[in-house]
């Protein structure tokens, strides 16, 4: 029995080492400042700081890849989250959104933040700076709502 367990452990170790050679792409696409959310929307400094700390790693082309993104399979899971985040909302390409789409994205922003869905709970242990206090949540939600009303197309 011990021999079988030993072979299984050795096999798992070999697999763990082998998967380290399957790397994720950590290259961020270039950011065209004229299309970037901060340039277009000109948020107050406090809002910009909160967004950079709590949103931009997964929702922009300004992702910072910490050391643990070098360890598979954790790196694969993180890259999947980044790709999904950018797919739902990408602040780096904000200028490509129509007014209707941008207003809808702002609505989603305040809903997700207000409901505590963003930032993701799984993101917070390694990024405590991204955790939003109740006051910060209210600040972001109110700002997103205000901006959504400003840019929503009149029908």
pLDDT of residue 1: 79
Sign of the four-CA dihedral 11, 17, 21, 25: positive
Tens digits of pLDDT across the chain (155 residues): 788 989 999 999 999 888 899 999 999 999 999 999 999 999 999 999 999 999 999 999 999 999 999 999 999 999 999 999 999 999 999 999 999 999 999 999 999 999 999 999 999 999 999 999 999 999 999 999 999 999 977 65
pLDDT of residue 155: 56
The CA R_g of the chain, rounded to the nearest whole Å, is 20
3-class DSSP state of 152: coil
Contact present, 37 and 91 (Cβ < 8 Å): yes
Whether residue 17 has a cis bond before it, omega within 30° of 0: no
Among candidate residues 117, 28, 36, 128, the one with its CA nearest the CA of residue 79 = 28
Q: What is the pTM of this model?
A: 0.89
DSSP secondary structure code for residue 117 in this structure: -
Compute how many other C-beta atoms are within 10 angstroms of the C-beta atom of residue 95: 15
- At CB < 8 A and 24+ separation, what contacts does 81-89 make? 81/120, 81/122, 81/123, 82/57, 82/58, 84/58, 85/58, 85/59, 86/58, 86/59, 86/60, 86/61, 88/59, 89/59
DSSP secondary structure code for residue 47 in this structure: H
pLDDT of residue 93: 98
């Amino acid at each position: 029995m011990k021999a079988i367990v030993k072979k299984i452990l050795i096999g798992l170790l070999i697999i763990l080492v082998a998967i380290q050679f399957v790397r994720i792409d950590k290259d961020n696409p270039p950011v065209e400042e004229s299309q970037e959310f901060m340039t277009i929307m000109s948020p107050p400094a406090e809002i910009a700081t909160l967004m950079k700390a709590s949103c931009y790693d997964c929702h922009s082309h300004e992702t910072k890849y910490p050391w643990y993104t070098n360890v598979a399979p954790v790196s694969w899971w993180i890259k999947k989250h980044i790709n999904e985040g950018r797919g739902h909302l990408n602040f780096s390409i904000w200028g490509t959104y129509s007014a209707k789409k941008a207003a809808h994205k702002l609505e989603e922003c305040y809903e997700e933040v207000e409901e505590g869905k963003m930032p993701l709970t799984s993101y917070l242990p390694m990024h405590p700076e991204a955790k939003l206090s109740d006051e910060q949540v209210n600040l972001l939600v109110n700002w997103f709502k205000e901006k959504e009303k400003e840019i929503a197309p009149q029908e």
